[in-house]
Each structure stands twice: as C-alpha cells, then as structure tokens.
Amino acid sequence: MTALREVEISPALEAVLHRPRSDWEEVLHDVVPRLPAKWQDDVRQRLDTLLALEDVPARLVHGDLGGTNVHFSADGKLTGVLDWDLAILADPAIDAALVATWHGWDVLRAAADEETCRRARAWNDPIGVEHLHPLLAGKPLTSIDGFIRAVVTWLETHR
C-alpha cells in the first residue's frame, strides 16, 4: 500500500487512469431506499460518515489487492501485482479497506497508521468496499437488483 501511495502521478499516468465516477454518491443514495427497511438508516448514516471524510490527495488505487492478484516470493517479498482494471486515482484508504476485507482488520491495523484505518473503515462500512469500488471505477451496474442482493447479503453477514 505504501508503494502505491508513493507512486508519482505523472501526466502520462493521469491520462490513462480516471478519478471516481462523478455520480457514485447519487447512485448509492438511490440504492438506500431499495434496501430492506431494517438497513436503510444504518447504511444512510454510514454513507454520511463516508461523505464527511476530509479530502485527501488522489493517489494510485489498485482496487483489487487480494486473492491471486498479489504475488509473493518464497521469502515473503512482493514480486508482482496483477489485474489493474479497477485502478483509479482516489483515496488510498480504499485499497486499505480492500486489503482488510481479504486479510482482516487486524492485519490492516498492524500494517497501517490509525488515520488510514479510520478512513478504510469509512469506505467499507456503508455497503462493503468490494461493492463500492467497482462503482467508483466506473463499472456499470448491469443489474441493480443483483447489486442490491449482493449488498444485502454483505449486510446480513457483516453486521
């Protein structure tokens, strides 16, 4: 995560990456009323917490630092990161939240400062960052009903 956060955002890199789609907040505000009533207030409050975060300089965010996308050598050194299709210029705490969903919040707390962990929680808490990040990266919601089902499943298992 540190290496990503420290990548120089050159004009060439900025030209091939985009910033989060401009309507992601609007899309989530439209999703909340379609959630089961028991989740609506909680998700709305957590979304408000996320939206109240102070702005940070946009950095390179991979968007999928888990599973088979991160490769290590036998001695534990990072050897490669694959699958950059969700990369954006945004808050690096998004990657921190994604790391925590794959490896646990204890692992993130051991690897990141308190502020990054706080911001990562804010990105994760409304609907699960694994659902939010593709939306930020501009992936279309091909099935709003499927998206809502996935979010409800996440809410049921993570609350």
Between CA 67 and CA 137 the distance in angstroms is 19
Q: Give me the pLDDT at residue 49, please.
A: 96
Q: Delimit the domains of the chain by residue range.
A: 2-158
pTM score of the predicted model: 0.88
Q: Give me the pLDDT at residue 67, please.
A: 74
Between the CA of residue 54 and those of 48, 66, 122, 126, what are the distances in Å? 12, 27, 11, 17
The domain defined by 2-158 carries CATH number 3.90.1200.10: yes
Low-confidence ranges of the chain (pLDDT < 50): none
For 66-96, the pLDDT digits (tens) are: 778 888 888 877 788 899 888 999 999 999 9
Q: Give me the pLDDT at residue 127, please.
A: 95
Q: Give me the pLDDT at residue 81, please.
A: 87
